Each structure stands twice: as C-alpha cells, then as structure tokens.
Amino acid sequence: MTAAELVVDGLGMKFEGLTALAEITLRVPPGEIHGLIGPNGAGKTTLFNCLTGFYRPTSGAIYLTGQRIDGLPPHVITGLGIARTFQNIRLFANMTVLENVLVGQHQHIAVGGTDILSTRRPVYPTPVERILILRGFPRAAVNGIIEIAGAIARPPRVRTAEAAAVARARDLLAAVGLRGRENDLARNLPYGDQRRLEIARALATRPSLLLLDEPTAGMNPQEAAAMVALIRRIRDEFETTIILIEHQMRVVMGVCENITVLDYGRKIAEGPPAAIQRNPTVIEAYLGTRAIQGGGHAAP
C-alpha cells in the first residue's frame, strides 16, 4: 500500500432540485491527514458518499492517484483503494469481530478465477458499452461456479488463503487494540471498541485513502486522544492518506495538516488549522448566522 493522492474537480451533487454539493474542488496530497468540517448539513457525508461510489455525482470528476473513479460501483472503488467508516457505526452486528475484518479482506482472499464483475469498467457506460459489460456474463458465471466449487471442495489453495486472511485479521485487530475480542459478536462490543473495529475492517480492504466519518463522535476527551494517536499511527504504519470528518475542534486542530470547510454544499475555506481558526468566513458560518453561541461543541 502506498498512500494515494485524491483530486476532486468541480464536483456537484443534486438531489431533485436540492443542491447538496456544488463545485467542490479539492486536492489531498499522498499521506496527508485532511480534515473536513462544516456545520450540520453542509454536505460532508454526501462528499464521502460520492467518493466511495454510494452516490453518483451529477457533475465534476474524482481522481484517485490519476485514475478517474466517479461513477464506478462501490466495490470497485474499494478495490481501487478507498475505504471508509460510518458516522453512525455500521458493523455487521451479528457477525463476530474476526468475521467483520474477514469481510473487509474479501477481495484479497484468493479463490480462483478472476472477478470479472469487479474489473474496471467505463466510468459512464453508453448503452452499447452496457451490452459489452453484459457479454462478460458467461465468464462471470464460470467464475462463480469455480468459487462455489472451491468453497465446497476446499482445496489447499483455498485453505491457505483463508488461514492467511485470518492471520492478517488478527494482526489488524491487534493494531487497533482489539486483541482477545476476536470471537465476540460485533454488537456486544463497547462503543469505543466498535469504532476501532470499523477502522480495522476498513484497513482490511488495504486502502490507500481512508475516509473516517466522525471517528471520535460520542467519545470523552481521553478516548478521543487515544483515537487521535491511533489515526496518526495508521497513517504512518499503513501508509494511507486520511480524510476525516470531525466536529470536535480539539481533534481536528490537533491531528489534521490541512482542513477543508464546507457550508451549504460549498467549499468556503481551505488551509492549515491555524489559518482556518482565524478565517472570518469560517467563524461566521459556525457562529454568525446559526445559533451555536456561548461555546457550543463546534467552537474551537
């Protein structure tokens, strides 16, 4: 894994007349920890959803280390190196901690055959190209049969791949501090550990760009400090670029090298933390027109 560069060029996202994002232009250099802040409803999570392929942006383009990725399906984007966590924790609640991480490694467990449906497709296929994609269907079917046969017969190749995946999952869990919890159900973990598990699961996809959606939400200052340390360690050990959405200003200012501020779907400021803190437009967005006064949690 090498850290990726993210370039967002004039990105727009409209939902039937509601403009959620407009003309977002952004460049995150490889290995940077980049903050994304803004009042509620500013479009931060929408931007994440566009980056990960959950939404298909209505205009603009997204490039991951030079490759255009907007419009690709989520699992393909994950395969290209973007992983994410979720604002409201979304673990596979009824699966064990270990299984959660194993699902993250899905594309890295060799089972034989190539995954035709996961290979790169044209970004916005024309009808003709769509038919060409469908022509890959027989091969996909053959690969499916190979995968099923492998799962049933369990040849040495599949066993080895599984064992390697389990070993790596254990390493990842140890890295985020979840050793010894492998066989617990994900839903039985305490809140902070669930956030850590989400990060381990995201790391299991071998990301070159990691998107963290409010990683310290609901944490007390000590827990948040531990999370900040973890985020820094991930950047260094796993060589990823990290973008995080965050409301706790202490966290944002402490960990991010650069910050982008969104308001009403537009980028209103960008720069290092110190400059953002003094930026009048940002102060106005947070304090001026809306009612977060008298030291609300979003204030620095």
Partner 1 sequence: MPDRSAPPPPWTRTLARFRWPLFVAFTCLLPFLLTDVWVQMLVFVALFIVLGLGLNVVVGFAGLLDLGYVAFFAAGAYTMGLLTSPGSPIDAGLDFWLILPIGILIASIVGLLLGLPVLPLRGDYLAIVTLGFGEIIRLFLINRDDLTRGSQGLSAIPRPDLFGYRIDSFTEWFYFVVAAAVVVGFCTSRLRDSRIGRAWEAIREDEDVAAAMGVNTTKYKLLAFASGAAIGGLGGVIYAAFIGFISPAAFSLQVSIDVLAIVIIGGMGSTPGVILGSLILIGVPRILQFRETSDFLANLGWLRDALNGLISALDAATPGSLGRLPPAETWGAQLADDTRFIIFGALLVIIMVVRPSGLWPSSRRRLEFAHDDTPPPAPVTAP
User: Residue numbers of the site for partner 1 (CB under 8 A)?
Assistant: 52-54, 73-75, 78-79, 83-84, 86, 90-96, 98-99, 102-104, 106-107, 109, 111, 115, 117-118, 140, 144, 147-148, 150-152, 154, 158, 162, 166, 174, 176-185, 193, 201, 204-205, 226-227, 229-230, 233
Residue 22 vs 77, nearer CB to partner 1: 77
Taking the complex as a whole, the smallest distance from the CB of residue 79 to partner 1 amounts, in Å, to 6
Residue 207 vs 282, nearer CB to partner 1: 207
Taking the complex as a whole, the smallest distance from the CB of residue 239 to partner 1 amounts, in Å, to 18
Taking the complex as a whole, the smallest distance from the CB of residue 38 to partner 1 amounts, in Å, to 22
3-state secondary structure of 209: strand
Taking the complex as a whole, the smallest distance from the CB of residue 106 to partner 1 amounts, in Å, to 5
Taking 3-state DSSP, the helix, strand and coil percentages for the chain, each rounded to the nearest 5, stand at 45, 20, 35
Taking the complex as a whole, the smallest distance from the CB of residue 261 to partner 1 amounts, in Å, to 25
Q: How buried is residue 21: exposed, middle or buried, by Cβ count under 10 Å (0-12/13-18/19+)?
A: buried
Question: Where would I find the H helices in the chain?
Answer: 44-51, 74-80, 97-104, 127-134, 137-153, 156-175, 191-204, 221-238, 249-255, 273-278, 280-283
Taking the complex as a whole, the smallest distance from the CB of residue 107 to partner 1 amounts, in Å, to 4
Backbone angle region of 271, left / alpha / beta, with phi > 0 → left and psi within -120 to 50 → alpha:
left
Backbone angle region of 248, left / alpha / beta, with phi > 0 → left and psi within -120 to 50 → alpha:
beta
Integer Rg of the chain from CA: 20
Residue 184 vs 270, nearer CB to partner 1: 184
Residue 124 vs 278, nearer CB to partner 1: 124
3-state secondary structure of 295: coil
Residue 80 vs 276, nearer CB to partner 1: 80
CB 186 within 8 A of CB 100: yes
* Angle, helix 97-104 to helix 191-204, in steps of 10 degrees: 30
Residue 202 vs 269, nearer CB to partner 1: 202
Taking the complex as a whole, the smallest distance from the CB of residue 142 to partner 1 amounts, in Å, to 12
Residue 129 vs 284, nearer CB to partner 1: 129
Q: Pick the closest to residue 3 from 37, 36, 28, 25 (CA basis).
A: 28
Cα 234 from Cα 226, distance rounded (Å) = 12
